[in-house]
Chains A and B, each alone.
Chain A
Amino acid sequence: MGDPTEVEGAASEPAEDLLTQLVAHLREHRERLRDQWMSRIREAGLLQAMTPQEMGAETTSVYDNYVEVLETGSVEALQRYARDLSERIIPRGVETHEVVGIVLLLRDVLARSLFEKYQRDFALLNRILDAYEPAANRIANTVAVSFVEERERIIRKQQDAIRELSTPVLPVRERLLILPIIGVLDSERAGQLTEQLLGAIRTHRAKVVVVDVTGSPEVDQTVANHLVQTVEASRLMGASVIITGLSPEIARTLVRIGVDLSKMNTIGDLQGGIEEAERLLGYRVTRRNDVADGP
């Protein structure tokens, strides 16, 4: 997909003429073919996330881009457009099969109109299709790949964001840290968590660490074992770990895999965990009487 400038088959001159003829035909019947295409899309139940107006606008641009690629043989403009389109429609839940589906529908609609136009001259039809098919295939390919690439880019971006957000280490009091875990823990993130937790114990000279997993819906067996090992390693560094907010699912996993839970200090919620940590550290928090209610 580097610098495609020529459609294959341009070697023989008639093929180029045929392409020009083809493009002229598609331009001439633009409205009719586009409407046909749109009704096919509707019949197939694709792109239901879009309003009819949007669909009209997008199908027109796709059609024009499509014809342009046939004419020039360059897919660069189409690539850009497809990426731009993907960026707009992915957040609205348009799926890969829909995008591929509509492009294939357009290919089909146009091919049918060519059959119709050249049905009397089979030899000519054959040559027209020879010119049309490779270009059409390349367009379908380009659009699908652009869409998938855009999706992957978004996924990567979100993964990075989650990774950065996922394990902040928050000093709450002297020698007391909180590690809230948000999102699903996979083994990569669990490894990162261990590294961060043990490193933080060292740098903050922490004595108690509260790991809050309220924001984590589930863990698998590997990660659960990892968590238990992390707690044990923290103990070797002289810190006690209190785990709070274990969901019923995680609790069940931990029990099912039969790890030694006797060394795990767990408390229902973060508030309870902090209270327990304060008790371990010898703090006593009392409310002053001379403060009025409210802020």
Chain B
Amino acid sequence: MNDGPALVSILRQGDTLVASVHTALDDSEMVRFQEDLVRQIGEHRARGVIIDVAALDVLDSFGSRTLRTIAEMARLRGALTVIVGIQPAVAYAMVRLGTGPGEVPTALDLEEGLAHLARARDPGGGGSVR
């Protein structure tokens, strides 16, 4: 893939990839993000993916569909995806327009997302927060 200023940073934390979207992406950037992420899942043998969209005030229907696609592709490659940091206005707009992330799990922020992945991987560990 060609380079450019990083609009999304993908960091590895153990066997989890954390992808932070820093700014609104247009359609082609979104596609590039999807390819990068799915490729890196294989490279790092990741078991979990967190996509942090806290910086986004807007997420259009193509964007949310791409996120759903990423989650589905990641699952096929053996990683569970959690979307975190959806802003209140974005959440409400998604619900009203019917462009939500569907079956993809969501969590409040990075910390919650990591906790969710840990629970999903170790269901015996108890569901409590504290």
Total A-B residue contacts, Cβ distance less than 8 Å: 61
The reply to whether A233 and B88 contact each other, CB–CB distance below 8 Å, is yes
- A238 engages B88 (CB within 8 Å): no
A68 at the binding interface (Cβ < 8 Å): no
The digit string for A202-220, where 1 denotes a CB below 8 A from any CB of B, is 1001010000000000000
**Cross-chain contact B129 with A198 (CB below 8 angstroms):** no
Are B88 and A195 in contact, CB atoms less than 8 angstroms apart?
yes
Chain B residues with a Cβ closer than 8 Å to the other chain, count: 22
Cβ of B38 under 8 Å from chain A: no
In the complex, which residue of chain B has the Cβ closest to the Cβ of A176?
A: B129
Instruction: State whether A282 touches B128 (Cβ < 8 A).
Output: yes
Q: Is the interface of A mostly helix, strand, loop or mixed?
A: helix
Cα distance, A233 to B109, chains bound together (Å): 15
Indicate if B86 sits at the interface (CB-CB under 8 A): yes
**Inter-chain pairs besides A198-B88, A202-B87, A237-B86, 14 sampled, C-beta below 8 Å:** A205-B108, A205-B109, A229-B95, A230-B92, A232-B100, A233-B88, A236-B86, A236-B91, A236-B101, A237-B91, A238-B106, A238-B109, A282-B127, A282-B128
CB within 8 Å of B: which residues of A?
174-175, 194-195, 198-199, 201-202, 205, 207, 229-230, 232-239, 280-282
* B residues lining the A interface (CB < 8 Å): 84, 86-89, 91-92, 94-96, 100-101, 106-109, 112, 126-130
Q: List 21 A-B contacts (CB under 8 A).
A: A175-B129, A194-B92, A198-B88, A198-B91, A199-B88, A207-B108, A207-B129, A232-B95, A237-B88, A237-B91, A237-B108, A238-B106, A238-B107, A238-B109, A239-B108, A280-B127, A281-B129, A282-B126, A282-B127, A282-B128, A282-B129
